[in-house]
Structure 1
């Protein structure tokens, strides 16, 4: 039975490498996947899924007004085995509903990967709706950059300093975000930040 999956984790938890691995596993068996990523994610270019370890591939760039049910319906054929969505936190809530409708009516599994909350520990609208609608939730884990405990969020760094307010969407990679536990989100070590940014 097809299901809607949401795999979430802090920055650097391996979400993008996981989606690339899942796509490879399907395709190595001669089955087709539809890869999608929101067009707002321009970090490695629009329509790119890229991992921090250097692997990347093209994906369909979807805009916030696009009806994802219609996109999946148009792409559906006998070989389409799954829909994989990277950076799913950037989806609109209605797009999450469209994914769920595609699962239920087109009987195609949809696996969405993304952050749960932003750098200020507020849920992204897309993630909130995925938590509400997904058949299965799975946390991908990584460690805090300061203490090695489980990271639950990410600290945004601007001009070398922690940022406590600003726009929810701020596209960046290792130069802009550090995975942290809750304690170190509140109490980061500036010397450690300087050390991390110098690499």
Structure 2
């Protein structure tokens, strides 16, 4: 039985690197994969999954109106897929997560989703919340805080490194905008202590 997997972490844990390595492993064995990433994330150009260590691959784009089931099923009908991998999965909506689950259940294709769990205020993203509830397998990818503990939170910062406490849930950025911290240091930095 195909499963829906959710690999989650804070920022800068290597999710895109792991996704690209997983796709490579399938392709190296002659199996077809299909990659997806969020259209809203254009840091490296549209239609690319890029890791901080320099790996990259072309990917299909999704936004709030994308029918994931239809797009994947159409590709599978042309070229049978062995796996579908979704980067920036926190930007999926509830309906899309259920579409991905249907791909597993009805078409027998494993779906591997990679994303961050919470935003800069410690709130779940819609896609992450849905995946935490629906996925067959949940796996935390660990990274470390500046203190050496496990980082679980994403602190949004301004150009001088000061914490941002309010704003839109989604603001695309990397190391210039976000710092992965343990909960203790996240709370301390947000409160100014």
User: Are 1:38 and 1:64, in contact at CA under 8 Å, matched by a contact in 2?
Assistant: no
1:58-137 matches, within 5 Å, as 58-77=58-77, 79-137=80-138
Q: TM-score with structure 1 length normalisation?
A: 0.92
Q: TM-score with structure 2 length normalisation?
A: 0.94
* 3-state SS in 2 of match to 1:112: strand
Give the superposition deviation at 1:44.
1.0
Give the corresponding residue for 2:32.
Answer: 32
What RMSD over aligned residues (CA atoms) do the two structures have, in Å? 1.2
Give CA-to-partner distance per residue, 1:36-86, whole Å, 9 cap, x none.
Answer: 011011111121111111111110011210110111110114641000000
* 3-state SS in 2 of match to 1:43: coil
Give CA-to-partner distance per residue, 1:8-52, whole Å, 9 cap, x none.
Answer: 001011100000000000000010000001101111112111111
Q: In structure 1, how many angstroms separate the alpha carbons of the residues matched to 2:80 and 2:28?
A: 13
1:43-58 matches, within 5 Å, as 43-58=43-58
Give the superposition deviation at 1:144.
0.3
Give CA-to-partner distance per residue, 1:140-188, whole Å, 9 cap, x none.
Answer: 000002x010001111111321111111000000111111000110123
User: Are 1:89 and 1:125, in contact at CA under 8 Å, matched by a contact in 2?
Assistant: yes
Give structure 2 stretches of 5+ with no counterpart: none
